[in-house]
Chain A
Amino acid sequence: MRNLLPVLTVVAAIFVIWYAGAVGLNAAWAKDKAERAGVTLTFKELVADTWSQDKPKLPAPHQVGAEIWKTTGAMVAKGRAFSKRSLIYHSWVTFSSTALGFVLGTALGTLLAIGIVYNRTMDMSVMPWVIASQTIPILAIAPMIIVVLNAVGISGLLPKAMISMYLSFFPVVVGMVKGLRSPSRMQLDQMRTWYASPAQTFWRLRLPSSMPYLFTSLKIAMAASLVGAIVGELPTGAVAGLGARLLAGSYYGQTIQIWSALIMAAALAAVLVGLIGLLQRITLKRMGMA
């Protein structure tokens, strides 16, 4: 609760800047309209207009809030939570490929890390490729993945999840390589004195030691996964998902829709990363490592 005041202060500052920005950016259109109607606006009227336009350059927070409510809470109240006009439905679509991509990425990242730690050849050869893979702009490669997978008959959730995986395996590889190598020389020697097998050393020493590194990586991977899912939804023809809402919004200049999808994506990311943080706290506390 001690943190509440600073947090609220920052939130308040954001709102002030946001409202001021809305006035500044939307004023030109308001004045334009007024000129053509042959009236002059008082400052009060100007402000009221910039905060209530249909397609503002920057929608005011309450407009975005109203749009989000209209497409979430109000839909639930009407019992149509999963209709195609509902942001809950689109969030769910994005969440599905985020989650699948995150699981696949974590699995791939962990396997690569184990290979790198245990196999000298992989240690020398894989890491440069892993890093190179992340220097390719995802926007360039995402349509390729969709097209190639479509050509071999895979469509729907999996291609989008692959793009999420492509982004999310990277932090897991980097973190897990560091984590699996974190046991000290002494701890590894100790395992040798007991003549422990490599598998025993892995399960009893290396893997538990890597947990703090794993969770830090998972948080980054989850955020990257969400970005991947949204990017993956853009070239699929904008059928469903938060990415599709963003694209449709920009086609028709629906800035309020774009912003509400953006806010929804941010909220989704916050919840998912928060869940991992919670899991981290519980696990590390139980392991005596927090």
Chain B
Amino acid sequence: MTKDTIISAKNLSLTFQTNDGPVHALKDVDLDVHKGDFVSFIGPSGCGKTTFLRCMADLEHPTAGSITVNGMSAEDARRKRAYGYVFQAAGLYPWRTIGGNIRLPLEIMGYSKSDQDDRVNRVLELVDLAGFEKKFPWQLSGGMQQRASIARALAFDADILLMDEPFGALDEIVRDHLNEQLLHLWDTTHKTICFVTHSIPEAVYLSTKIVVMSPRPGRITDIIDSPLPRERPLDIRETPEFLEIAHRVRDGLRAGHGDDV
């Protein structure tokens, strides 16, 4: 663990007790995430990638091992509002405008009124939604709603962004566009991002580090440091380097699946 380690998991295990016996959602997971990393977690359903993200967010409590976020326990990090969390669904409140939705965490955290206004304007510009402050969620498309929810997670001073399949419900074209925007956002805001996904191209395109996971028990099977440059146009996805990483991810996923495919 070095000075710029943001998230560090050691021998992390989480076992759910169910009526059908214990389920090992995570088993002996070790991982260090460094400042400014873009880490993707990829794997089939049940591999524990979302559970791992929820452990970082203190929404789930590990049954063994330890996890630190910003050098403190996950719970302290949550109390200090160290991260913004973007869920699979945008989860905007229908009774609040887009601006009001982004203002919601700011109100809860007690930012001053003028500070709130500044921040709302800034993040709306950041996600390319300037001018939509007074609109209601139902007036926006699914992609725009998800952008608003990202803006909401960026509005307060958290340098970690945890994203749980944020683009999973969107179509391919919108998804490509949002991926490009997200990379740009990561580049300009210097956040550390942990990103859960099902999609191999998405993981390879976005990440500096790809964590391949496999189920039963949920564990890490491969960690790939991406050699791709920070600047990534969409057509980088046709280069041999890109395809090589994608290939390695696919191999990792297949190996993890073992004989139950």
Contacts and interface: CB of A to CB of B under 8 A. Distances in A.
A227 B59 CA distance: 48
Interface in A182-199: 184, 186-187, 189-197
Q: Is the interface of A mostly helix, strand, loop or mixed?
A: helix
Interface centre among B57, B83, B87, B88 (most CB of A within 10 A): B87
B85 interface: yes
Contacts of B93: 205, 208
B39 to A, nearest CB: 18
A193 B85 contact: yes
Classify chain A's interface size.
20 to 34
Contact of B59 (A193, A196, A205, A289): A193
Contacts of A288: 94-95, 136-138
A204 interface: yes
Interface string B59-95: 1000000000000000000110101110111010111
A85 to B, nearest CB: 49
Nearest to B107: A204
Contact of A195 (B81, B91, B94, B136): B81
B91 A187 contact: yes
A200 B106 CA distance: 12
B91 to A, nearest CB: 6
B261 interface: no
B153 to A, nearest CB: 9
B108 interface: yes
Interface residues of B, number: 24
Nearest to A197: B108
A289 B83 contact: no
Nearest to A289: B94
A28 interface: no
Interface in B144-183: none
25 contacts: A186-B87, A186-B89, A187-B91, A189-B85, A190-B91, A192-B58, A192-B59, A193-B85, A194-B81, A194-B105, A194-B108, A194-B109, A195-B109, A200-B108, A204-B104, A204-B107, A205-B93, A208-B93, A208-B95, A286-B95, A287-B94, A288-B94, A288-B95, A288-B138, A289-B94
Interface of B: 57-59, 78-79, 81, 83-85, 87-89, 91, 93-95, 104-105, 107-109, 136-138
Given A192-B78, A193-B84, 10 more contacts: A184-B91, A186-B87, A186-B88, A186-B89, A189-B59, A190-B87, A193-B57, A195-B78, A195-B108, A287-B95
